[in-house]
Amino acid sequence: MRDETRRKLDRHLALRRGARWLAIILVALALAAFAFLALPASTVREIEAEVRVAFIGNDGKRANPYTTLELKLPDGRIVMGRSTTPLAPRAGARIIVQERSTLLGFRSYEWDGRTP
């Protein structure tokens, strides 16, 4: 094999190896970002909230009912919450919701049908 051909083949193989390692690194970074942003932290707490608005909807695919809630928390913040319970509490009712926090501090609120 000619010297020039050998150099071209070696360069081509080096580029393929580099591209493979780059792809592996990018996938690892994407998985780490997903784990950091999406996986919930272990902080779950129950808080009492006041219902401002509640309505029942369905997911549109399988017609599974869910309840969307607008809640006023004890510290005055107004947040949105969800529930798979097909019961909507009346406006002004006090309910117990679970607050879940992600690693970056994003919070979600879920109601399982309990009242104080």
CB atoms within 10 A of CB 48: 14
- The 10s digit of each residue's pLDDT in 6-57 is 888 888 888 888 888 889 999 999 998 887 777 666 688 999 999 999 988 8
Predicted pLDDT of residue 49? 95
Alpha helices in the chain (DSSP H): 3-38
Predicted pLDDT of residue 30? 93
Predicted pLDDT of residue 110? 93
pTM of full prediction above 0.75: no
Kindly report the CA angle at 65 between 42 and 91, in degrees rounded to 5?
80
Predicted pLDDT of residue 29? 94
Question: Mean per-residue pLDDT for 85-109?
Answer: 87
